[in-house]
């Protein structure tokens, strides 16, 4: 079986100052293309330790991706470590010096001399182009492995991997195990509950189900052989088993709602009390939802509203629609007695419900969950599902439906 390893470099990655998003991204990408990782390690900015890890991985893996440490500063040691591991020297790539000079000239700046370090590559290394940065990549054959060296800047790393490294790997290695990933998102279900519901499903050979829990959603992934004929029908069976707690397919909830709003030419207004602008900010993530948001208000105070009722919050949502001329409005009330009232107003009526978490969420997490309930009410309305949903970790204490 093909062995694939990744080495992430840098003290900031090793000590958790930054999240290693590059490693997670590469793991997903390589898995889907038939190159699943068998080893991932992180090494700090220590020359001897990095060189030893490169050599070790080159003896045990067929493919190694080394990420980071190709910059112009003194703690960027990857090229030097690669030369030590390969028992070779460093040589300057005059071609890359010219490329860097051209990049700086296009910016109207003179290239600092320190950038010359980025053109120093292990002897015999094959340069890998970086069209958007000054750190070129390179590849060497070391022991049993092809070792690819990449910059740590995510945009540069991803472009180089997709456009340069993956094509090289596919030309060198058999990719019969390449997979497609079909994904959808659920809200209001537990991972164990989803697993139990899907346990009755008979998967064809080569099909696998995976989960990724990231509050407030659980992403369900169906991995299938590339272009499998049964993929669409199996995914549809899974969606039907999980019912209307499936909030979106292939895209996230915000994008799904945004696409529906654009398709139906409807505008949305948001009034947030407890959620404090969480939903309005979330709707900025995609063009469709951002363009469909007509107006948003955030209520900063947190008054004692013991008399607030679902009917009153629903009335606020309806009044907002009328005031601004929007077809749709979402409102979150204040939090009291552990619950928050949320409401949706539409051209055909208004719905409201008091939501009380069954779990002890911190304030940030609870705002996220309540904002998701609001958006899910709208999603359900647009998808012609029951607007009031059932959520395992939330209690719906009251609900109303008001005809306009």
Q: Token digits for 134? A: 């000054």
Same fold, 4-172 and 253-402: no
Residue-wise pLDDT for 205-251, tens only, equals 999 999 999 899 999 999 999 889 999 999 999 999 999 999 999 99
Per-residue confidence (pLDDT) for residue 402, from 0 to 100: 67
- Alpha-carbon distance of 97 to 116, in angstroms, equals 7
> CA 166 to CA 369: how far, in whole Å?
38
Which region among 78-92, 110-124, 315-329 has the lowest average model confidence (pLDDT)? 315-329
Give residue-wise pLDDT tens across range 331-373.
999 998 889 999 999 999 999 999 999 999 999 999 999 999 9
Angle in degrees, CA 181, 186, 190, rounded to 5: 110
CA trace torsion 152, 154, 157, 161 (10° rounding) = 140
Q: Where are the domains of the chain?
A: 4-172, 179-249, 253-402
Structure confidence at residue 32 (pLDDT): 83
- What's the confidence (pLDDT) of residue 301? 55
Cα–Cα nearest to 115, from 66, 51, 70, 68:
70
CB 34 within 8 A of CB 175: yes
Structure-token pair, residue 304: 């004692």
Q: What is the pLDDT of residue 287?
A: 96
pLDDT tens digits, one per residue of 45-72? 999 999 999 999 999 999 999 999 999 9
Asked: is 253-402 a CATH 3.90.950.20 domain? The reply is yes
Does 259 have pLDDT greater than 80? Answer: yes
Please provide the average confidence, as pLDDT, over all residues in the chain: 93
Fold of 179-249: Alpha-Beta Plaits (3.30.70)
The H or E element that residue 347 is part of is none
Q: Which DSSP symbol is given to 277?
A: T
Residue 72: HSE in the Cβ half-sphere, 13 Å Cα cutoff: 12
Q: What angle do CA 394, 283, 159 make, to 5 degrees?
A: 110
300-311 pLDDT per residue, tens? 755 555 557 888
Domain covering 4-172: architecture: 3-Layer(aba) Sandwich (3.40)
Q: Are 160 and 137 in contact (CB under 8 A)?
A: yes
Measuring CA to CA, which residue among 215, 214, 218, 212 is closest to residue 189? 218
User: Is it true that the peptide bond before 357 is cis, omega within 30 degrees of 0?
Assistant: no
Q: At residue 175, does pLDDT exceed 70?
A: no
């Amino acid at each position: 079986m093909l062995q694939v390893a990744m080495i992430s470099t840098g003290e900031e990655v090793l000590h958790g100052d930054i999240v290693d998003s590059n490693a997670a991204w590469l793991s997903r990408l390589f898995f889907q293309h038939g190159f699943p990782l068998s080893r991932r390690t992180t090494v700090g900015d220590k020359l001897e330790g990095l060189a030893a890890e490169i050599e070790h991985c080159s003896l045990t893996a067929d493919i190694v991706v080394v990420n980071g440490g190709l910059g112009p500063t003194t703690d960027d040691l990857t090229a030097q470590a690669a030369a030590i591991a390969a028992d070779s020297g460093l040589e300057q790539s005059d071609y890359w010096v010219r490329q860097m000079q051209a990049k700086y000239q296009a910016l109207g700046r003179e290239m600092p001399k320190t950038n010359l370090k980025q053109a120093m590559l292990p002897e015999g290394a094959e340069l890998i182009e970086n069209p958007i940065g000054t750190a070129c990549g390179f590849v060497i054959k070391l022991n049993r492995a092809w070792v690819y060296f990449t910059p740590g800047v995510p945009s540069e790393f991803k472009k180089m991997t997709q456009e340069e490294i993956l094509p090289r790997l596919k030309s060198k290695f058999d990719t019969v195990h390449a997979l497609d990933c079909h994904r959808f998102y659920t809200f209001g279900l537990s991972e164990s509950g989803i697993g139990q519901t899907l346990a009755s499903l008979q998967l064809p050979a080569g099909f696998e189900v995976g989960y990724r829990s990231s509050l407030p959603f659980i992403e369900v992934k169906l991995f299938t052989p590339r272009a499998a004929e049964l993929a669409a029908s199996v995914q549809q069976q899974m969606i039907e088993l999980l019912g209307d707690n499936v909030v979106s397919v292939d895209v996230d909830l915000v994008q799904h709602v945004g696409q529906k709003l654009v398709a139906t030419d409807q505008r949305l207004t948001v009034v947030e009390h407890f959620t404090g602008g969480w939903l309005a900010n979330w709707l900025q993530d995609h063009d469709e939802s951002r363009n469909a948001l007509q107006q948003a208000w955030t209520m900063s105070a947190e008054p004692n509203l013991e008399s607030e009722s679902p009917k009153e919050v629903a009335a606020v949502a309806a009044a907002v629609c009328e005031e601004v001329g929007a077809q749709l409005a979402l409102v979150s009330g204040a939090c009291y007695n552990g619950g928050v009232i949320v409401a949706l107003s539409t051209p055909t009526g208004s719905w409201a419900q008091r939501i009380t978490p069954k779990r002890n969420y911190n304030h940030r997490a609870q705002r996220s969950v309540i904002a998701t309930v609001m958006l899910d009410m709208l999603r359900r309305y647009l998808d012609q599902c029951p607007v009031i949903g059932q959520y395992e970790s939330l209690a719906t204490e009251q609900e109303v439906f008001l005809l306009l």
